[in-house]
A = this chain, B = another copy of it.
């Protein structure tokens, strides 16, 4: 690559001192410079194709305008919208994000976190929250700025931005009750995730409130196969299977679809199914899936907003922002037999 043009080159062409170029090129200090000097500098810069070196600036200002984003796995369809939401807020404000995937490994997470620290990121947005998150605990203690997104902070006093999962479950149970279902089963996700527990507890509470018979089945992971396995077990064990399933997420619900089909049962005629997340293609499955839509893009944007606020105002409040969710009624739920 040819040598990059620096502030000194611009200064020479414009006939001013490098310091003046710096001031003229920066929106915040531009006012300290004579208007026509600014013009002269800007023209010289354009002429040379000058681009400020943000590495050098970062070294000087100890602010890299970069945010580390830690997620479990980008191929899980809930994360791309979160990441895009984050970028949609950061980009216009001059920040960039660096996204890393932990694959739910604590070891990987720690090493990625350190690598981002070396890169001097100004803060973190973390979507890998779980109870006893020792890494985040230590980060907090050393004054690192961060915001949790989608998951709770597991006791660490960072701000968290989450969807109102409990309300989503209430709406699902209410919908099912309105359809005449009296015995509901919830497929709960891994209990290490705060979201799993929140949803399961809301399910039990909602059923109690509405005088419904509630059963909760634990699933080892959020996956299609695990959902199918769980539903297979229900169908092959219980003599009166439930008429409605509230799945912990859409993947689990999809597994239920497969199980039902394998057992010659139809949805929603035999069993109604509600998912959670409204992931891409939820409307394209057969039947189109009734599910709770979480505002993932907004979750991401809001977490970014909170983080920049924390960075720029140097204050952190352990607030919990809960964004509303919406029950999307499609074709996988119908009247109880």
| A2-B143 in contact (CB<8A) | yes
Most chain B Cβ neighbours within 10 Å, of A55, A64, A97, A285? A55
Stretch at the interface among A34-42, A98-106, A166-174: A98-106
What B residues does A286 contact at CB under 8 A? 285-286
A76 to chain B, nearest CB (A): 8
| B54-A118 in contact (CB<8A) | yes
Is A236 part of the binding interface, using a Cβ–Cβ cutoff of 8 Å?
no
| B143-A1 in contact (CB<8A) | yes
What B residues does A66 contact at CB under 8 A? 119
| A284-B224 in contact (CB<8A) | yes
A268 to chain B, nearest CB (A): 14
| A117-B74 in contact (CB<8A) | no
| A98-B97 in contact (CB<8A) | yes
| A98-B98 in contact (CB<8A) | yes
Query: Given B55, B101, B281, which contacts A281 in the complex, CB threshold below 8 Å?
Result: B281
Closest B residue, CB atoms, query A296: B75
Most chain B Cβ neighbours within 10 Å, of A80, A144, A258? A80
Is A84 part of the binding interface, using a Cβ–Cβ cutoff of 8 Å?
yes
Cα distance A98–B98 when bound, in Å?
5
| B81-A118 in contact (CB<8A) | no
A103 to chain B, nearest CB (A): 9
What B residues does A284 contact at CB under 8 A? 224, 254, 257-258, 285
Cα distance A100–B86 when bound, in Å?
11
Q: Which 6 A-B pairs have the closest CB atoms?
A: A286-B286, A1-B143, A74-B80, A75-B80, A54-B118, A55-B120
